[in-house]
């Protein structure tokens, strides 16, 4: 085995051969452009066998095994992806809903948004058209899919147009994944909306998804291709630390958010309390109580989204009535429907911190927006270059 390793080293690194090129490899290495990297490499190996017969005579069987393994696995799965990544161009495009965020992401990435035409007929029908070639490119399409469903359908049409224009990869970047709350059949005769959206994205031609803070982590399993699930904790946690709250306590607004609140509390080395609520129907709370001590504490509620604001405002009132010093909230996705802005302004919440995955429809003195653009920019770079994205996570 040592002889074989030595011969391989000499063949690939030291041996110039009778007809070597300027890199020290046998001239036969420079074959046609259509020859893949594995084939070229093993032509070199065979040249080594010819020039070092004594070393290789006892290793013929092993050589055949290694040749087969390396040809089918080593170069294909390790070398080729990195070489290909350098050859495929990156094109960034935006839907109409999250154009501002897309511009920030493209600036962070270091590349301008591509040109795309999004037309609407008088009856509301949408037509998409790319104004530049995407053939053979890695196409990133940035669009949150909050209601109305036009936003989702616009994304689907953009994916389909890229597929028919011969894009190499089509990566749908959904800062906010709409319909994620419908992730299971929790009562008879209901749809699983999140699974249906996953099927639509797959059927349209998406090859990868990049999203943030899904309502339930298991939604990733609805897809049969890679999903890069990002977490706003890498943005929220440094901000919470900067507040220097003396008696910080993390809080979950419901039982479903306890895992997220516990991860934040563990990182910040703080206490945790949990709100238990019962709903009469969607967006209507029947009753609520808090599990844990909140007296004299600076409470920070953490959730993946805020819709009407009913849960957070009621939780804040209850905790303050029980002796809490202050109540803040951090929520990734600012859905803010119905009377949400009015509820927040009238509430006793000191501050609501959200991200820009969904654009705000109006301003509020109590709402602070932190951008996710830089995080997405870094991740898109990593996706294109086949690098790990784990370094972008603090807690998940």
Tally of CB atoms within 10 A around 196: 13
The pLDDT value recorded for residue 99 is 95
pLDDT at residue 13 in the model:
44
Q: What is the pLDDT of residue 180?
A: 94
Q: What is the dihedral of CA 180, 182, 183, 185, to 10 degrees?
A: 180
- Residue 91 is among the residues annotated as catalytic for this protein: no
Does 46 or 292 have the greater pLDDT score?
Answer: 292
Residue 156 has pLDDT above 90, yes or no: yes
**pLDDT of 10 over the 50 cut:** no
pLDDT given for residue 65 in this prediction: 62
User: What is residue 299's predicted lDDT score, i.e. its pLDDT?
Assistant: 96
Q: What is the pLDDT of residues 270-288, one digit of tens each?
A: 999 998 877 656 656 666 7
The encoded tokens of residue 135 equal: 């053939």
C-alpha pair distances (Å), 361 with each of 97, 134, 337, 356, 371: 12, 33, 10, 11, 16
SS (H, E, C) the chain: CHHHHHHHHHHHHHCCCCCECCCCCEHHHCCCCCCCHHHHHHHHHHHHHHHCHHHHHHHHHHHHHHHHHHHHHHHHHHHHHHHHHHHCCEEEEECCCCHHHHHHHHHHHCCCCCCEEEEECCCCCEEEEECCCCCCCEEEEECCCCCCCHHHHHHHHHHHHHHHCCCCEEEEEECCCCCCCCCCCCCCCCCCHHHHHHHHHHHHCCCEEEEECCCCHHHHHHCCCCEEEECCHHHHHHHHHHHCCCCEEEEECCHHHHHHHHHHHHHHCCEEEEEEEEEEECCEEEEEEEECCCCCCEEEEEEEEECCCHHHHHHHHHHHHCCCCEEEEEEEEECCCCCHHHHHHHCCCCEEEEECCCCCCCCCCCEEEECCHHHHHHHHHHHHCCCCCHHHCCCC
Give the confidence band of 51 by pLDDT, cuts at 50, 70, 90. low
pLDDT at 21 (0 to 100): 44
Give the pLDDT confidence score for residue 183 in this predicted structure: 93
Between CA 113 and CA 210, with CA 116 as vertex, the angle to 5 degrees is 55
pLDDT surpasses 50 at 138: yes
Q: What angle do CA 351, 357, 359 make, to 5 degrees?
A: 75
Task: Give yes or no for residue 26 having a pLDDT over 50.
Answer: no
Among candidate residues 104, 195, 277, 378, the one labeled active-site is 277
Token output for 81: 């992806």
Q: What is the pLDDT of residues 340-385, one digit of tens each?
A: 999 999 999 999 999 999 999 999 999 999 999 999 999 999 999 9
**In the chain, what percentage of residues exceed pLDDT 90?**
67
In angstroms, the CA 116 to CA 93 distance is 7
Q: Is 31's pLDDT higher than 50?
A: no
């Amino acid at each position: 085995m040592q002889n074989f390793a030595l011969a391989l080293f000499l063949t690939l690194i030291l041996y110039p051969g009778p007809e070597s090129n300027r890199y020290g490899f046998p001239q036969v290495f420079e074959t046609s452009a259509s020859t893949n990297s594995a084939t070229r490499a093993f032509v070199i190996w065979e040249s080594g066998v010819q020039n070092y017969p004594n070393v290789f005579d006892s290793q013929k069987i092993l050589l055949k095994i290694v040749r087969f393994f390396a040809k089918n696995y080593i170069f294909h799965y390790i070398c080729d992806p990195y070489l290909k990544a350098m050859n495929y161009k990156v094109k960034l495009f935006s839907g109409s809903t999250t154009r501002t965020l897309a511009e920030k992401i493209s600036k962070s990435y270091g590349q301008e948004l591509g040109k795309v035409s999004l037309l609407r007929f008088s009856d509301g029908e949408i037509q998409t058209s790319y104004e530049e070639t995407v053939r053979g490119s890695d196409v990133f399409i940035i669009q949150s899919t909050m209601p109305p469903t036009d936003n989702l359908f616009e994304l689907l049409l953009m994916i389909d147009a890229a597929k028919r224009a011969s894009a190499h990869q089509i990566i749908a970047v959904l800062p906010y994944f709409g319909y994620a709350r419908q992730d299971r059949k929790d009562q008879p005769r209901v749809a699983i909306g999140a699974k249906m959206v996953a099927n639509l994205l797959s059927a349209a031609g998406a090859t990868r998804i990049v999203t943030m803070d899904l309502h339930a982590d298991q939604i990733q399993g609805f897809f049969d291709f890679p999903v890069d699930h990002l977490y706003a904790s890498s943005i929220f946690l440094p901000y919470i630390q900067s507040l220097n709250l003396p008696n910080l306590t993390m809080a979950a607004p419901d039982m479903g958010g306890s895992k997220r609140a516990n991860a934040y509390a563990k990182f910040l080395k703080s206490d945790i309390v949990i709100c238990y609520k019962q709903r009469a129907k969607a967006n209507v709370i029947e009753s609520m109580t808090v599990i844990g001590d909140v007296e004299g504490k600076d409470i920070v509620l953490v959730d993946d989204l805020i819709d009407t604001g009913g849960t957070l405002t009621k939780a804040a009132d209850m905790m303050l009535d029980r002796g809490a010093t202050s109540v803040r909230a951090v929520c990734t996705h600012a859905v803010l429907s119905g009377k949400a802005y009015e509820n927040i302004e009238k509430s006793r919440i000191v501050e609501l911190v959200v991200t820009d995955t969904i654009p705000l429809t109006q301003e509020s003195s109590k709402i602070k927006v932190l951008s996710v653009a830089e995080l997405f920019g870094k991740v898109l770079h990593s996706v294109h270059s086949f690098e790990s994205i784990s370094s972008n996570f603090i807690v998940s």
